[in-house]
Amino acid sequence: MRFYLGVTIAVAAAIAWAAGYGPVLVAAAVLTLLGWARSRTGTTAGGYRAVSVRGHSHGGRDGTLIAKHEAGHATVARGYGGRVRSARIWDDGGLVQAELPTDDPEAAIAFWKGGEIAAGTGRGAGADRDLIRRELRKVPANQRRDLERRATKQARRIVSRASGQIRRDAATLRAKGHL
């Protein structure tokens, strides 16, 4: 599993440092830690399931793949009726924090698959695969393959129907660094 508290704090510090803001360091660390804690507890105040994807490198020098990948996560979350709390990218990775309105493991798996599908590659998406494996362990072994297939199919459906939105979100991420 690639979700460790120390790495989460380091990512928040890197975002704040890259932005050149001192006070933002504290805010970014707190927000990231809250997202991490919420993803561990499973729900948020609104009854939504919190999901968070910590940055991972996707290759590509101009950030296009990273932006598409993170936009894919955001789009699938919205496709399930969820809320995107934040989406950010930096030179070699990105972060999306979203809340899904269900505890259904299919929705979480589709969320993590959405980035890979939108970017057109699984390069650098090891953290997503780790989280998918963790989610699959929650269901009986004889149901895992079918669950992953359904989630992948649903993520593909959402991504293909929202390709224009993904392009716009990716362009915004590349221009501003956040949604």
Q: 169: helix, coil or strand?
A: helix
State the chain's mean pLDDT as an integer.
Answer: 77
Q: 1: helix, coil or strand?
A: coil
pLDDT at 19: 61
Residue 51 has pLDDT above 60, yes or no: no
The pLDDT tens digits of the residues spanning 115-126 come to 999 998 887 788
Of 101, 152, 155, 124, nearest to 54 (Cα)? 124
The number of C-alpha atoms within 13 Å of 14 and in the hemisphere containing its C-beta is 16
The pLDDT tens digits of the residues spanning 97-144 come to 999 988 889 999 999 999 999 998 887 788 889 999 999 999 999 999
pLDDT at 106: 94
The rounded distance, in Å, linking the Cα atoms of 108 and 91 is 26
